[in-house]
Amino acid sequence: MQNNKLRMAIRATAAVAAFGMAGQALALDVPTGDWDTSIYGYARLNAAYDIDENVTTSTMAGDFSKINTGAAEDNEATGYFDADAVQSRIGIKTMSPEGVKMVVEGDFRGGNLRLRHAYGEYNGVLAGQTWSNFNSFVGFTSTLDFDSVSAAGLFGRTAQLRYTTGPLSFSVEEPRSSLVTIKETESFDPENPATPKSSWDWAEASGAKDGMPTLTARFEDSAGSFSYSAAALVHQVAYDTGTSDDSAMGYGAFLAGKIAITDMVSIQGSVNYSDGANQYMWRTGENYYGPDAYVVNGDVETIKTMGGTLGTSINLGDGRKVNVVYGMATNDYDDAKKDFASNASQLAVVNGSAETNQALMANYQFSPVDNVMMGVEYQYLMTEDVSGDDGDANRLLFAAQYNF
């Protein structure tokens, strides 16, 4: 019983850190008879100052795909400021007298109300949309950047059917796959339609399909001051044009852990590996997820990805915290370089692909009163292409969050 209580406390603490909350959020209870119902959420302002180039996206997160590389980095403008409140969210949760839990939650990223969670859970069986089972916040270090650094598994929510018993959980999930190939396209100048321009780039492979659900398994537990999580998944990457088809199985795995050195200091991190399941590897590819595989000469060839994070959190007391984290994700395009070596235009596309993303984030968070958090964060982002061209960006973030 004590172990279960400790495990639940660790999971709750990790989730609070992931949401950037300071203190314990007090949900608003709603009178619903025998049902236990409450409304929760927060209002949040995010502001960013990009020091040496504009790489901001919604929620003021840093976007690796906007970082200039190679010669383009020498011509970048400097000094950009922006702010928004679209990370703000609202949710409702309820528990029936029989123990059935239901949650519906949304935020405003993208400018409109966006569904984040919508699920029911009873007796260990969960059905609906929520965090993937191939995910863990055990090794997560709190950042003000909503997109943060490379994380353990899928840093997103997906439709699924999950069963949990003790520290073990299994799920059948909505499939996520990205099968690409290098294609030539033509663009026309209205003033000179007789001479179209051709260009080569990655594009979704013809007939790309999801032929089976994603299957995952996770084990998450704790022992004393150490908590840990391990998970694995398998899914299919395939295409079928009606005249030709091929498929490959993709695999992914991660390990995550956190250890409390003292009551004030913790160290946490994770390592991730994928072969053909890069849609489940956060902050790979150009910014969020890299392609799982590519088609060449009719065959599906998988792409390998690995990454990890390492961070520390220091509780200074009186509602003050310091967090520092480094994250890295890298893709292996060596086989693609060989497969497309005979075509100079296709090889140039491979060489221009994002190979490695790195980020260093350090923040100071202060809670002047319960359910209020304010913080500042410095970020250093770096991306490198397969060709070796690289670029970096320095940023400052500010956040103010009011929980209810």
Beta strands 179-189; 214-223: pairing state: unpaired
- 241 residue type, one letter: T
52: left (phi over 0), alpha (psi -120 to 50) or beta: alpha
- 2 residue type, one letter: Q
- The one-digit pLDDT tens for each residue of the chain (404 residues) are 444 444 444 444 444 444 443 334 568 888 888 999 999 999 999 999 999 999 999 999 999 999 999 888 777 678 999 999 999 999 999 999 999 999 999 999 999 999 999 999 999 999 999 999 999 999 999 999 999 999 899 999 999 999 999 999 999 999 999 999 999 987 776 777 767 778 999 999 999 999 999 999 999 999 999 999 999 999 999 999 999 999 999 999 999 999 999 999 999 999 999 999 999 999 999 999 999 999 999 999 999 999 999 999 999 999 999 999 999 999 999 999 999 999 999 999 999 999 999 999 999 999 999 999 999 999 999 999 999 999 999 999 999 999 99
Residue 96, beta-bridge partner list: none
Retrieve residue 94's tokens.
């309820």
245 alpha-carbon distance from chain centroid: 31
pLDDT of residue 26: 64
Residue 402, beta-bridge partner list: 43, 372
User: What is d(CA 151, CA 141) in angstroms, rounded to the nearest whole number?
Assistant: 9
Short-list 365, 367, 376, CA closest to 398? 376
pLDDT of residue 7: 44
Q: Which residues contact 344 (CB under 8 A, 6 or more apart)?
A: none
- Strand (E) or helix (H) holding 285: none
Buried b (16+ CB within 10 A) or exposed e, 174-191: ebbbbbbbbeeeeeeeee
In 3-state terms, what secondary structure has residue 66? helix
Alpha helices by DSSP H, listed for 224-375, are 334-339, 344-351
Q: Other CB atoms closer than 10 Å to residue 276's CB: what's the count?
A: 25
**224 to each of 218, 258, 264, 386, how far by Cα in Å?**
20, 11, 16, 43
In 3-state terms, what secondary structure has residue 338? helix
Running DSSP on this structure, what letter comes out for residue 58? G
Instruction: Quickly list DSSP for 187-225.
Output: EEETTEEEEEEEEEEEEEPTTEE--S-EEEEEEEEEETT
Query: What number of residues does the chain have?
Result: 404
Q: Which residues contact 196 (CB under 8 A, 6 or more apart)?
A: 186, 187, 188, 189
Q: Are 221 and 243 in contact (CB under 8 A)?
A: no
Short-list 200, 287, 307, 304, CA closest to 248? 304
Beta strands 293-296; 179-189: pairing state: parallel
2-403 fold = Porin (2.40.160)
Running DSSP on this structure, what letter comes out for residue 388? S
